[in-house]
Amino acid sequence: MHRVRPRGTPVRRTARLSGLVAWRGGHPHAEHLGTGGRAQGPARTRLDPRRRVRLRSSAQPDFDGTALAARGLVVVTLNYRLGFEGFGHVPADGEGPASPDNRGLLDQIAALEWVRDNIAAFGGSPDRVTVAGQSSGATSVACLMVSDRARGLLHRAVLHSAVNACATPGRATRTTAEVAAAAGVPATRAGLLAASPQALVAASDRVVDRYRQDPRSGQRHYDPAIYGPVADGDLLPADPLEALAAGRGAEVELLVCHTTEEYWLLDAVGSSAKITTGQQLATFAADFGLPPQLVDGYRSRLPDARVPDVHLALYGDLLFAEYSSRLAEAHARAGGRTFLSRFDRRRGGPGRRVRAWHCADIPFAFGNLHDESVHFLTDGPPGPADHELSHRMAGAWAAFAAHGEPGWAPLGGGAGGAEGATVRVWRTAGEEARASDGFRDLWGAAGLPLLAP
């Protein structure tokens, strides 16, 4: 709830910064927003399959920018406020004005303003700023693209697995009431300011746990995330998908990627509800307003899949893959230069635990396969084919940031959207090609509901 402090001027240093910022004269600049949910919880530096993955720090090894810097980029990674501190609604009252809902986005804008004013001191180009993010970080980048407050601060954007989650003011207000009640304080500015950050974290966790334990609680039961960007009509005019479709941010060049089996990671780390029966699957679809024929389509195309796998395929596309693809297509239809790709690298045959799941593409794009902490994502140490794939992906990132050309054709505009356009599919050499469009035709018929955290 605290305001963004004025950015400072950097002191020039001659010592080498270990992977956070690398600078070389006259090069483009890339900034990365990390991944992870906007729920409360401790930041972790390793993926542990026994724990929920909710927050991640830009200091994690898989976000180390050294490999990208070696390709001529100046790389900056940043952190921003999460949970209630970053996105909780604080109402106005007689003792003071309302706090802005999107304080986490304001942190990101403050960082971009600092980059604009100071990156030249590190050899970067303030007129060639590429902002990249993954998961909730990707959604943040999409929000920045369409926000007037961020106009001119970014020139290219990279979105990996943007999450379908943007709150309305009413939804944010109701969440505040729930959290305040759990914290034992009034849902007023004075009441919320009286609660410590630790108390708000604990209260948020209690609210999340209630949703998780109550199968009658609707959408929030399945993977409770109660905070996210708020379409307040000020900083954020609308859900990024709607805003891009209306032509906002068309001047920003865009590269979008998602994995083909997003949600299996969330299941592996115990973040989501277990759906094991056909009735539970039908209830899940009804809770999200998905038509029965969409579920039937998934089941018919996955005839040998168990119900849990059908659910994970459906939920992953609802939250990440279809939303990310539609962001790209909306941007292209509005005249924006847009590139779309999918990450489909897998290990082993059927039954293997590691898939092309959420976050698996990040160490490949950053060129950080060597670090042991990412081997949970990649099923052990990388082989030569993995290094070759990483070389191609990191090269595409660097080329896009430098020249706006990742190495394949952009999506077409017009009513046909991406029809007939090139979509890059990232696989290791020798992997069997699978249908690159997955279930997209089913979503075209069913429509995609826009979700709120």
Tokens of 212: 């998780």
Q: Which of 262, 271, 329, 341 is catalytic?
A: 262
325 tagged catalytic: no
Q: Directed axis angle between helix 278-287 and helix 307-316, to 10°?
A: 20
For the four alpha carbons of 34, 36, 40 and 43, in that order, the dihedral sign comes to negative
Active site residue 147: no
- Beta-carbon count within 10 A of 12 CB: 8
Please say if 262 is a catalytic residue.
yes
For residue 64, which amino acid is it? D
Task: Report the 3 state secondary structure along the chain.
Answer: CCCCCCCCCCCCCCCCCCCCCCCCCCEEEEEEECCECCCCCCCECCCCCCCCCCEECCCCHHHCCHHHHCCCCEEEEECCCCHHHHHCCECCECCECCECCCHHHHHHHHHHHHHHHHHHHHCEEEEEEEEEEECHHHHHHHHHHHCHHHCCCCCEEEEECCCCCCECHHHHHHHHHHHHHHHCCCCCHHHHHHCCHHHHHHHHHHHHHHHHHCCCCHHHHCCCCCCCCECCCCCCCCCHHHHHHCCCCCCCEEEEEEECCCCHHHHHCCCCCCCCCHHHHHHHHHHCCCCHHHHHHHHHHCCCCCHHHHHHHHHHHHHHHHHHHHHHHHHHHCCCCEEEEEECCCCCCCCCCCCCCCCCCHHHHHCCCCCHHHHHHHCCCCCHHHHHHHHHHHHHHHHHHHHCCCCCCCCCCCCCCCCCCCCEEECCCCCCCCCCCCCHHHHHHHCCCCCCC
Write down the catalytic residue from 58, 135, 140, 147: 135
Q: Which of 322, 329, 358, 390 is catalytic?
A: 358
**Contact status, residue 158 vs residue 116, Cβ threshold 8 Å:** no
Asked if 240 and 250 touch (Cβ cutoff 8 Å), the reply is no
Residue numbers annotated as active site: 135, 262, 358
